[in-house]
Amino acid sequence: MTRCLFTSLSIAVAITFSSHPIFGQAPGAAKKMELDSPLLQPWTGPHGGVPPWNLVRSEEFVTAFDAAISESNAEIKAITDNKDEPNFENTIVAMERAGRTLSRLEAIFFVYTSNLNVGPIPDIEKVIVPKLSEYEDSVYQNKELFARISAVYESPAMKNGSFDLAQRRLVDDTYKTFLRKGAKLDRSDKAKLSQMNTRLARLFTDFSQNVLADENGYVTWIKDKSELAGLPDSVVAAMSNAAQDRNNKDGDWAITNTRSSMDPFLTYSSNRPLREKVWRNYYSRGDNGDKYDNNKIIAEILKIRAARAKLLGYETHAHWRMEPTMAKKPEAAMDLMMKVWPKALARVREEVADMQAIADEEGAKLKIEPWDYRYYAEKVRKAKYDLDFNEVKPYLQLDKLREAMMWAATQLYGLHFKQLSGIPVFHPDVTVWEVTDADGKHVGLWYLDPYAREGKRSGAWMTDYRAQENMGKPITTIVSNNSNFIKGADGEAVLISWDDAVTLFHEFGHALHGLLSKVNYRSQSGTSVARDYVEFPSQINEHWLETPEILNQFAVHHKTGEPIPQELLDKIKKASTFNQGFDTVEYLASALIDMKLHLAGSDDIDPDAFERETLAAMDMPSELPMRHRTPHFMHIFSGDSYSAGYYSYLWADALTADAAERFVEAGSFYDKDVAKSLHDNVMSIGDTIDPAEGFRRFRGRDVDTSALLRKRGFPVD
């Protein structure tokens, strides 16, 4: 039987660096741990090996990282010490092969920081993340290594066609990434850059842990059953289970401080004061003026990012971050966002007017506030379209929707999924599936971790534990999807909302992007593509949820097994563009704040004031908030990857809307020829070609952004 790691990790353990066993060990003991630790060994087991979750001991993480970094440094030194003339094989491919132990270790550790961040893990994270930042800088600033990369970049083989397209792109990307990371700075500036990056790494960790603390710390408890008025049975059951998970310490029902718990409560609860309390708890994460307040951290992050961009020769952090994207420059992203923004604002005004009219008709004597928006929007939906998503939810079973995603992947790409037993997992909630192709050949493994728990960050995400590659020896991928659904009672189906079902399909699209990868080099594998392109495969996968083939087979009532009535399907289709003002403005406000913050330069910024004043200047409606307020905006302040890049979802949705229309033009979302083209030109090729070219090959032309407006029901100029 696989040992459950979560039981021991969930015990609250207060540690200090001087007293915890991972610090202050005798050198001999540390060396023995390095040699013996399963964290440092190649993965064993089926399908090229699997993560040894059953053997992980968290007290070994720090020492294991020291050993893995030391090994990676030795592998880099072997490349730079090579006396042969630099070429693709002995430099670029050698870099692709280096750092395997470190990559495996990171895959395990960052599952702990995102899915199991309890006990000693937060303190361990504060030690390890700066180490990784320092290691990364040591590689990018390695003068001898960059000289070899430059030699390959400038070699005749790059110009005379000796390299194939993927090889040329890999060399070009490697060279330019080193430039962007400071390879040409002098010694003094490299030292400054390293100090900045190390400090940012610490700040990112502090920011993330503060948000997690507020998500765990602000639970709204209900003791009186009368306060459940308006809530459907499925939501009440989820709140009851959430309370049981917390030992019912303050009430019989609990609303946790996560979107998956907050959203349905605000949609259905008729208790307005309680709606306001839940809303304020959620949207004030990281902004409560206590030890977990993130405003000072944000201000410092912004200042360092601006200074770093200047040091690297860029006008702003936004210009530095966007150079390798499809958009290339902030102006291009801003142009697309501002094309949509006024249309979305106009739609919000219409939506608010409709909601206010219903509130007035009911004699509510209120002005619509942010904690009212979801509640009255649901009333408008019912009045306008006779659609109550309470009627839909009994047909949306998590397990059946998982089957639906797999079924669609079989129809489109020939993939098949088989649940495995006996594979180590990091928590009993996790299931593992083998994925094979149409010929029965092993493609990869898919791990699913669907449920919320203490220490798990909110939201939904995909990650890979191992990337697909084929440098002489095929290596298959291991990918995972992670969500925060609330468990039902024992033996009861887990019912989810329509929005959560869309998110489920979205994240599975990322997993498919990894599973379908057929490239040679791991740096180009799967989702390793431009930030504003990576959301395209996931967003296009959302469209299969609403196809009749899926809904008629898999949207079945959790008690009767009856399929969802056609009348209800017709209402869903008719209301497909409902509330797009809210959805678009909520998202775009965050994307615009992100971009404007990172275009603001190096002046001191008060995050709360900047957010408030910028939203006012943008004519942000008072009736709704931005989707991610600055103090808990994990996308942009828990790391660099999405900073000045939250626009990517809109950019990718422009591609998605246009791509979806090709399936519509073909007459079916299951058209074999269109699906094959999507596979061949998007899903399987990773970063081996320019993404714009990949889209062009699929669509037969460049993207038509007016499709985005049509998708959201906005007027097309």
Please indicate whether residue 507 is annotated as part of the active site. Answer: yes
The reported pLDDT for the residue numbered 24 is 35
Query: How many CB atoms within 10 Å of residue 475?
Result: 16
The reported pLDDT for the residue numbered 35 is 55
- Rounded Cα distance between 618 and 223, Å, is 41
Query: How many CB atoms within 10 Å of residue 437?
Result: 15
Query: How many CB atoms within 10 Å of residue 420?
Result: 15
Cα angle, residue 206 at apex, residues 199 and 64 outer, rounded to 5°: 75
Q: pLDDT below 70 — which residues of the chain?
A: 1-35, 602
Q: Which domains does the chain have, with CATH numbers?
A: 6-140+142-184 (1.10.1370.40), 218-283 (no CATH), 295-393+578-711 (1.10.1370.10), 397-574 (1.10.1370.40)
**Residue 41 Cα distances to 53, 477, 636, 709, angstroms:** 13, 18, 34, 51
The reported pLDDT for the residue numbered 601 is 76
- Structure token pair of residue 500: 């959560």
- Structure token pair of residue 511: 């997993």
Looking only at the bridges linking them, the beta strands covering 461-466 and 416-420 are: unpaired
- Structure token pair of residue 516: 């379908």
- Rounded Cα distance between 390 and 551, Å, is 16
595-625 in b/e burial notation, b at 16+ Cβ within 10 A?
bbbbbbebeebebbebbeebbeebebbebbb
The reported pLDDT for the residue numbered 90 is 98
- Give me the phi and psi of 671, to 5 degrees please: -60, 125
- Rounded Cα distance between 141 and 193, Å, is 10
- Cβ pair 279, 289 in contact under 8 A: no
The reported pLDDT for the residue numbered 245 is 86
Out of 215, 469, 507, 535, the active site residue is: 507
The reported pLDDT for the residue numbered 34 is 52
- Rounded Cα distance between 279 and 265, Å, is 9
The reported pLDDT for the residue numbered 487 is 85
- Structure token pair of residue 90: 């002995």
Tens digits of residue pLDDT in 295-319: 999 999 999 999 999 999 999 999 9
- Cβ pair 574, 381 in contact under 8 A: no
